[in-house]
């Protein structure tokens, strides 16, 4: 392995390292998205429990409940937006990963072809250096 095939092989390894970094970013985005989904679910559950007040209540209790409900809704919306942002980031990372995998495969194929060509050239030179056969 020398010359062009070595360079292409090293470029393929470099691309493989980039793929590993992109995979780590993708896993992190998926984890953050899942966490945001869980938080939205917990907030919706808290909201459902919040509105189960029965009987006669004071105006202060009603106002406090409304304020808490508004705060829970605001927080749920904020986490839902985070979830959407992480979903978009995941889509970007997946597209980036697909491009990198395609480039890695292309470089690997080119390196194999270059190695094959170099081996054929080496064999041709070796055969040319041999004296002609006697009959």
The pLDDT confidence band at residue 128, using thresholds 50, 70 and 90, is confident
Buried b (16+ CB within 10 A) or exposed e, 78-115: ebbebbeebeebbeebeebbeebeeebeebbebbeebb
Mean pLDDT of 99-104: 95
Quote the CA–CA distance of 44 and 38 in Å, as a whole number: 10
H or E segment to which residue 22 belongs: helix 4-50
Please tell me the pTM assigned to this model. 0.70
pLDDT given at position 53 = 63
Please list the helix, strand and coil fractions of the chain in percent, rounded to the nearest 5, in that order. Answer: 85, 0, 15
Domain ranges, ordered by start, for the chain: 4-129
Q: Report the topology of domain 4-129.
A: Helix Hairpins (1.10.287)
pLDDT given at position 27 = 95
pLDDT digits (tens, 9 = 90+) for 28-81: 999 999 999 999 999 888 888 876 667 777 888 878 888 888 998 999 999 999
Instruction: Please give the mean pLDDT across all residues of the chain.
Output: 89
């Amino acid at each position: 392995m020398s010359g062009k095939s070595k360079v292409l092989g090293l470029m393929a390894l470099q691309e493989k390292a980039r793929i590993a970094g992109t995979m780590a970013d993708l896993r992190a985005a998926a984890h953050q998205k899942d966490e945001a989904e869980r938080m939205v679910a917990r907030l919706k559950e808290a909201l459902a429990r919040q509105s189960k007040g029965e009987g006669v209540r004071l105006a202060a209790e009603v106002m406090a409940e409304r304020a808490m409900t508004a705060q829970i809704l605001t927080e749920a919306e904020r986490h839902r937006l985070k979830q959407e942002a992480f979903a978009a980031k995941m889509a970007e990372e997946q597209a980036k990963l697909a491009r990198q995998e395609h480039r890695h495969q292309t470089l690997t194929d080119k390196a194999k072809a270059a190695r094959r060509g170099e081996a054929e050239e080496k064999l041709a030179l070796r055969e040319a250096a041999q004296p002609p056969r006697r009959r």
